[in-house]
Structure 1
Amino acid sequence: MDERQLKYFLVTSEMGSVTSAADKLDIAQPSLSQMLLRLEEELGTKLFMRTSRGVVMTETGQVFREHALKILSDMRRVRDEIRLEDTFERCEVTVGLPSSLATLIGSRLVSEFQRVAPGAKLTLVEAMSGHIREWLTRGELDVGALYSAQDCCHLSLQQIAVEELFLVGESGAFGDVDDDGLAIDSIDILELNRFPLILPTAHHGLRRLVDQKIKRLEGKINVRFEIDSLTLIKSLVRDGHGYSMLAHAAISEELKRGQMSAARIVKPIFRRGVFVARNPLQVVTRASVKMAEAITNVSWKLIQEGEWLATRVKPPASEPFIQEIEPARL
């Protein structure tokens, strides 16, 4: 199967007649008929029903038409990407960031992307991780950052960090704190049922991770409110309506200002992975590659500077696409 066959198939489906399609394509009608027959043999199915008035697509032919249109569109995009050489003027990328990560790296990420892909159009969407996973699956995002790899086997994932989850409460909720604003005393994971929690619904990765971990340990949690808004969860915690389980990325500014407090969860420590994700069915563009690099590099820089309490994860040597950031530009 090649590009020419796909084009010939699409013209035939549009014209509804092999003869008319052959005239439009300026080829002999028998040659077009043979090409269509070979295509059907290769696919092992009938694409057209022959009638006295011409041809009509079968149900499988209609399905194949949608795939053919996408394949040809992707091939055009690939050619356009290659022909652009070093300019990003006509490039665009849509990226999704979880709310906690957007709060931490959003501004630096935009600056870094402008540096490495000058002129490219950027659309940045902030949402909870579950929504980003769905949008990646539907092909509505070029790149996304996700927490944990649950239910993501259909996506291309590259882990960039591991971060710890903390029990979060109002200011002073856990007593004395260390230099990072974290409570001196930690909380045993099986003691979490003592704290009324404010968590996202089971639709989101954080909640599923919490539920699965607690279930494996045969523990219990006390969920007072289910809220799919990071901003509202943090507001309710600050006002003393309950506790939550959040990563340092989500609360770093509040800890600095003394507006919230956090305690480590231990026995075991509660951790999750941070991933850059793509849909393998989407065309990889130069702008999307630069965005993936920028997310990784900005994240690593913040970890190195101590602004994000996480551990960076380097890719295998076979994937050396990460570049160093110029600190002066951050």
Structure 2
Amino acid sequence: MNRTLGTNGPLVSAIGLGCMGMSGAYGQSDEKEAIATIERALELGHNFLDTADYYNAGHNEELIGQAIKGKREKAFLSVKTGQLYTAGANGGMAPGGVTAHPDHLRNAVFYSLRRLKTEYIDLYTPARVDPNVPIEETTGALADLVQKGVIRYIGLSEASAASIRRAAAVHPVAALQIEYSLWSRDIETAVLPALRELGIGLVAYAPLSRGFLSGEFKQPEDIKDSRVHMPRYQGENFYKNLQLVEKIRTLAADKGCTPAQLAIAWVLSQGNDIITIPGSKRIKHLEENIAAEHVQLTREDLESIDTFMPAGIVSGTRYPEKFLSALNR
């Protein structure tokens, strides 16, 4: 299943592949399996590969570069940039501020091209709106990169409706990447209407709420990675949200699909201008996610879901408090 990214954008797979987890974001991953997963996605015609230059300091881009060698034309590369990191505990790295300064964009894109071993990036996106740089300047720098042929389309991420309109007034924006799922529906009030008004596509990340909606977690102790810091996975929130997952599991069983497939199908059912990029680092999960495009949700199904899982019912925010200020800017 393919969809057009925005009114005048490219044709891409409705279900793409989020590659972040292949570089240690959610526990260890096997590099050979990760490359095989990317190759399998392309083999199945699912061409939208999402990465960022800050996923394990460029490792993720290098991994994708290996996987697409000799088949660049089959891949649609979506790259984010601008998340800064500082020294963290135990010698690790912790997320710091963000930058979407024109100088950063002009420099960073060429490092990404080198790691990906490609001459162009299909969709290039500042990871967040930079509060210290007018979005018109950011968009203008991206427009220059389009003119130079090193990127083909401009993206935004986690931007407010007002910022989206300001950016689109400078240069056409192909897509907004933002979290959207059964548990993250804030965009329905202002952002999604603005996208549709302007003919901009939606790239929905975390359609499974970082795995929670897949039903794989039974207790907080099952989580052994960075998700332990996310409020939805903590304490009383965890158990309240687990009750919602059980309702998804029941409906999925009735539909003959998995909870993950139901959650992905719900996102796709919200409009033909939406694509989604569930993360996978194993072929079996990739194939399970891709099969969601065959799940047909009836009007009765959607009404039932809205009844037991209305917008705002999830317990806990999607990020820790200190990161929330970077959203909807």
> If the TM-score is normalised by the length of the shorter chain, which range does it land in?
under 0.3
Q: Which has the higher strand share?
A: 1
Q: Which has the larger radius of gyration?
A: 1
Q: TM-score scaled to structure 2, two decimals?
A: 0.27
Q: TM-score, normalised by structure 1?
A: 0.27
